[in-house]
Amino acid sequence: MNIVEKILARASGKASLAPDDVVFADVDKIMVHDVSGPGVLKVFDKLKKQGIPVDKLWDPAKVWVAEDHFVPSAEKVSAENIVKLSNFTKKYGIEKHFKYGMGQYGICHTLSHEEAMVIPGDVYVGGDSHTNTTGALGAFACGLGHTDIAYVLLNGRIWFKVPETDYFKLNGRLPEHVMAKDLILKIIGDIGTDGGNYRAMQFGGTGIDEMSVEGRLTLCNMTTEAGAKNGIVEADQKTVDYLASRGATNARIFKGDDDATYANVFEYEASEVEPLVAKPFSPQNVTVVREAPSVELDKSYIGSCTGAKYEDLEAAAKVLKGRQVRIRTEILPASISIYKRAMENGLLSVFLNSGATVGPPTCGACCGAHMGVLAKDEICISTTNRNFPGRMGHVESQTYLSSSMVAAASAVTGKITDPRDLQ
């Protein structure tokens, strides 16, 4: 069996599993945020009317809650959703609730690893499509909708069809100026936004061994844009050390057997990967930065679970140091602990001195909700994950997806720029 089959077999009490088997798997951790939480409460209301009891969760200790999409609240509906979320955690006795304005908080997929909410070997589900991110720790991590999340909250388990696994092998270390974001854009450009649909995408090879945990998180994060059920990297010493530094020491490490089967194996030579962008209006619309259209950008956005982890900010700071931005540039660290580290290590000074604005962690602009949405005809380069029509604001705005290094270099020139070409 491969790692995905092993984790699902463990969680469903089966000796072995193969693709297309359907199981009910016990869930180890579950996350809801300020969009899926109120959505789940609507489902609970519906269930109550049908006579299904919703007074007690299966295990409040396995549930954790993030406030990320609509914080800081821009208007009263969002503010009320945050109140609903607080009432929810109080009512059901959920202790792990990361609140905006109260110490560590941030984007759920960042907290999942920074706060070691998930450990290797877990079956982890979240009420958000980018839950896939945390598979980078060697867990089965999968996004679900409100009904499924409500089902898990009440029953502790959920059905899965065991996915076929595609294996993406990276040979060698990615060159300087090339980030994990470039690799995952390349992969999505190759397989398309439905290339991973219903499937698991596993990453391995010497390039992944050498890659940081944060880089692996970026890869797994955007398996969602290929439609994948989950992204996964087998845990290694780096994963264990990373989690130990975040206070978790109880990993269950699963590795695929020598005779594990994969539906497809894709090989990439790290030395051949270049800085890339995905043009509007699809993450699969990928081109090398040096061949990107010469458009006048209005904004550079460095934020989100995909592109505002500490290493993303560090890479952007390297580019922005001693330079000035020519377009509106917004940098939003993905969590308060990243924000703090960026402050302590001088990154915030670099950003502010370059003319960029630094904001609080939020999903706001990434999903076109608030905190910096785009106007009609505006063009943005962004470290986020999607660029569908209207994703970041007006339906006639445009978003180019890139690494933080490319977004920073483009902020300096006002055009889509390869960081290697900066003077």
Partner 1 sequence: MKGNVIKYEIDNIDTDVIIPGQYLKVHDYAELATHAMEGLDPHFHSKVKSGDFVLAGKNFGCGSSREHAPIALSCSGVKAVLALSFARIFYRNSVDGAFLLPIEIEEHAYKSISEGDELDIDISANQIRNNTKNQTYKMKPFSEIIGKIIAAGGLFKYKPEQD
Q: Which residues bind partner 1 (CB under 8 A)?
A: 22, 24, 35-36, 38-39, 41-43, 47, 50, 52, 69-70, 77-78, 81, 127-129, 131, 143-148, 151, 159, 161, 193-194, 197-198, 227, 229, 282, 367-370, 373, 386, 388-391, 395
Task: Give the separation between CA 291 and CA 305, rounded to whole angstroms.
Answer: 27
Q: Which is nearer to partner 1, 143 or 207 (CB)?
A: 143
- Cis before 333 (ω within 30): no
Q: Smallest distance, Å, CB 47 to partner 1? A: 6
Q: Which is nearer to partner 1, 355 or 390 (CB)?
A: 390
Q: Which is nearer to partner 1, 86 or 129 (CB)?
A: 129
Question: By C-alpha distance, which of 94, 83, 74 is closest to 32?
Answer: 94
Task: Give the separation between CA 381 and CA 118, rounded to whole angstroms.
Answer: 31
Q: How many CB atoms lie within 10 A of CB 55?
A: 9
414 sits in the region (left: phi over 0; alpha: psi -120 to 50; else beta) called left
Task: Give the separation between CA 39 and CA 365, rounded to whole angstroms.
Answer: 21
Q: Smallest distance, Å, CB 378 to partner 1? A: 16
Q: Smallest distance, Å, CB 324 to partner 1? A: 31
Q: Which is nearer to partner 1, 40 or 273 (CB)?
A: 40
Q: Smallest distance, Å, CB 66 to partner 1? A: 14
Task: Give the separation between CA 168 and CA 91, rounded to whole angstroms.
Answer: 44
* Residue count (the chain): 423
Q: Which is nearer to partner 1, 272 or 396 (CB)?
A: 396
Q: Which is nearer to partner 1, 78 or 335 (CB)?
A: 78
Please list, in sequence order, all residues whose beta carbon lies within 8 angstroms of the beta carbon of residue 75, skipping any fewer than 6 positions away.
none
Q: Smallest distance, Å, CB 331 to partner 1? A: 21
The answer to whether 181 touches 273, Cβ cutoff 8 Å, is no
Q: Smallest distance, Å, CB 81 to partner 1? A: 6
Q: Smallest distance, Å, CB 104 to partner 1? A: 23
| 3-class DSSP string for 256-323 | CCCCCCCCEEEEEEHHHCCCEEECCCCCCCEEEHHHCCCCCCCEEEECHHHHCCHHHHHHHHHHHCCC
Q: Which is nearer to partner 1, 284 or 417 (CB)?
A: 284
